[in-house]
Amino acid sequence: MCILLVLVLLALCRPVQGTGDTCETCGHRPMDYDSDKSRVVGGRDAQPGTWPWIVSIQSPWQAGTGHVCGGTLIRPQWVLTAAHYFIEARNIEAWRVVAGATQLSHLGPEAQVRNIKRLLVHDQYNNISQSNDIALLELDQPVQCNIYVQLACVPQPSLKVSQLTTCYVGGWGATAEGALASNDMLQEAQVLLIDTHICNGSGWYRGAIHQHNLCAGYPQGGIDTCQGDSGGPLVCRDPRAERFWLVGVTSWGRGCARVRRSGVYVSTRHFFNWILEQTELQPAERPAPTPAEVQPAERPVPTPAETDNATPSPFPYQKLVAFFKLMRELLQYPWAGKS
- Cα of first residue to Cα of last residue in the chain, in angstroms, is 13
133 labelled catalytic: yes
Selection from 153, 43, 136 nearest residue 97 by Cα: 136
Amino acid present at 271:
F
Q: Which residues contact 223 (CB under 8 A, 6 or more apart)?
A: 40, 41, 42, 43, 189, 190, 191, 217, 257
The active-site residue out of 28, 67, 84, 212 is 84
Q: Is residue 6 within 8 Å of 12, Cβ to Cβ?
A: no
Going 135 to 138 to 142 to 143, the CA torsion angle's sign is: negative
38 labelled catalytic: no
Rounded Cα distance, 259 and 142, in Å? 41
The active-site residue out of 59, 182, 230, 262 is 230
The active-site residue out of 56, 67, 133, 210 is 133
Output DSSP code: residue 198: H
| Cα→Cα distances 132→51, 83, 162, 249, Å | 25, 8, 21, 11
84 labelled catalytic: yes
Residues annotated catalytic, as ranges: 84, 133, 230
